[in-house]
Amino acid sequence: MIWAKEETLSRKEIQQIQLNRLKEQVEWAYTRVQPYREKMDAVGVRPEHIQSLNDLKLLPFTKKQDFRDHYPFGLFAVEREKLKRIHASSGTTGKPTVVGYTAADMDNWTENVSRIAVMGGATAADMVQICFGYGMFTGALGLHAGLENIGATVAPTSSGNTKKQIMFMQDLKTTLLVATPSYALHIAEVARSMGIDPQKDLHVRIGLFGGEGMTEAMRDEMHRLWGPDMKVTQNYGMSELNGPGVSGECLELCGMHINEDHFIAEIIDPATGEVLPEGEKGELVITCLTKKALPMLRYRTMDITRLFYEPCRCGRTTARMESLSGRTDDMLIIRGVNVFPTQIEEVLLQIPEIGPHYEIIVERIGHLDTMKIQVELADDSLFDSYAGLEALEKKIRGGLRSILGLDAEIKLLAPGSLPRFEGKAKRVTDKRKDLGLNC
């Protein structure tokens, strides 16, 4: 089933909607948001210069740094009183990225998520369990609203407490699971360890996965654990772009359909900022066409992908983006949580007993991401104190947990044992990279 007629328009019709909305949106941002006005003035671009979709490339980029420079409300186009909701995501350092929604923004967000849910096989008959953490992150409440909107029954079980999740799954006869792919795999493993076969004893037939990328290897594993007939799709979004609902896979599994009447996607060369021709791989840049509270013009997602525009076998005509193949920055996604090495560094630098060198090792053990952080002792003062070393480990772990909301394994090393770098330091080793191709 296809939720909205906008998903099957001709290319010409889509482009006409995009152009009309783009003009309106540029005008809106220019007149109401000072940082947008200043940036456009600096390059001599005015709203009336946007006469075709091709003119989009005249506009300056918006970056994560802009959120930081104008924290918390500086990029907003409406007064705080007009906002219905605030969400936030982790920033590269210190302050999070704050986003907000008008009533109309919320409706559009919900509509976009509904389309993606239906694309992945969801219907009004589904019993949904949302295993994303509820809170400032957009994932849980975004999927929540979109699934309620299509008439499904939603249980906001949130993340964690896996045995209880499984109990609800059995008792409610959950048919649709929303989670990060790695957590979904973990749930299946735990169920098996409890003597419950997810294929026979549970009723989950649809998985809508997001919050982190899903490789083809993970999809295969999902089928092995949850059954070959499970409908396993992933979807894409980020809080700066409302949250989930930017794009999602249909059951043909040939890329994620972009809700093009709400978002224009471009691919650029991350080094030069130049727009790349169709089919080339580069950084995804998104312009939001309907967001009123927090307009986003040419937002650099830092995600690397490719776009293609042929109509899909599913009947949709919207552009599709390939599974993400990496990031242009050093952001890590660990158990669905965005982690920047700079955040870790900030915590470590505040602890005098350890030196400035560190190494982050991310691995997937079983189906769960683990983060190990190797640090050097600053001097010999703790060499002879076992209690002191243990207390230090605890202090580092606690500091990281309060900033990232994640547990990390700490490994203390002797001074001078980590490699030193003359150029750019390589502080992160991500052993999870097992990328698969889609089509």
Partner 1 sequence: MKQLSIFVENKVGSLAEVTRILKEAGINLRAVASFDSPSYGILRVIVDDPEHARELLLSEKHAVKMTDVLAVELVDKPGALDGALQRLAEAGISINYVYSFVLRKEAEPLMVLHVSDMEQGRRVLQEAGLRVVDKLDS
Residues lying near partner 1 in the complex (CB under 8 A) are found at: 377, 380-381, 383-386, 389-390, 409-417
Instruction: Render 212-271 in DSSP notation, one character per residue.
Output: S---HHHHHHHHHHH-TT-EEEEEEEEGGGTEEEEEEE-TT-SSEEE-TTTEEEEEE-TT
Number of C-beta neighbours around residue 88 at 10 A:
18
Question: Shortest gap between Cβ of 421 and partner 1 (angstroms)?
Answer: 18
Cα distance between the two ends of the chain: 22
Nearer to partner 1, 136 or 389 (CB): 389
Nearer to partner 1, 82 or 372 (CB): 372
Question: Shortest gap between Cβ of 369 and partner 1 (angstroms)?
Answer: 19
Nearer to partner 1, 329 or 363 (CB): 363
Q: Which of 264, 268, 305 is nearest to 288 (CA)?
A: 264
Nearer to partner 1, 6 or 376 (CB): 376
Q: How far apart are CA 121 and CA 201, in angstroms?
A: 21
Nearer to partner 1, 107 or 393 (CB): 393
Nearer to partner 1, 241 or 410 (CB): 410
Nearer to partner 1, 39 or 357 (CB): 357
Residue 45 phi, psi dihedral angles, 5° rounding: -105, 130
Q: Which residue has the tokens 């029954």?
A: 153
Question: Shortest gap between Cβ of 356 and partner 1 (angstroms)?
Answer: 17
Sequence-distant (6+) residues with CB within 8 A of 44 are: none
Q: How far apart are CA 283 and CA 305, in angstroms?
A: 6
Q: What is the DSSP letter of 62?
A: B
Contacts 24+ apart (CB under 8 A), 352-360: 352/378, 353/377, 353/378, 353/381, 353/382, 353/392, 354/378, 354/392, 354/396, 354/412, 355/415, 357/418, 357/420, 358/418, 358/427, 359/418, 359/419, 359/427, 359/428, 359/429, 360/332, 360/427, 360/428, 360/429
Sheet with 307-308, side-by-side order of all strands: 153-155, 127-130, 176-179, 206-209, 231-238, 243-249, 256-258, 320-321, 307-308
Nearer to partner 1, 238 or 344 (CB): 344
Nearer to partner 1, 224 or 411 (CB): 411
Question: Shortest gap between Cβ of 324 and partner 1 (angstroms)?
Answer: 33
| SS3 assignment, position 69 | helix
Q: How far apart are CA 11 and CA 311, in angstroms?
A: 9
Q: How far apart are CA 157 and CA 155, in angstroms?
A: 6
Question: Shortest gap between Cβ of 386 and partner 1 (angstroms)?
Answer: 5
Q: How far apart are CA 24 and CA 157, in angstroms?
A: 40
Question: Shortest gap between Cβ of 378 and partner 1 (angstroms)?
Answer: 11
Question: Shortest gap between Cβ of 133 and partner 1 (angstroms)?
Answer: 29
Question: Shortest gap between Cβ of 363 and partner 1 (angstroms)?
Answer: 15
Nearer to partner 1, 152 or 377 (CB): 377
Nearer to partner 1, 387 or 437 (CB): 387
Question: Shortest gap between Cβ of 431 and partner 1 (angstroms)?
Answer: 18
Question: Shortest gap between Cβ of 394 and partner 1 (angstroms)?
Answer: 12
Whether 317 and 10 have beta carbons less than 8 Å apart is answered as yes
Question: Shortest gap between Cβ of 383 and partner 1 (angstroms)?
Answer: 4
Whether 259 and 245 have beta carbons less than 8 Å apart is answered as yes
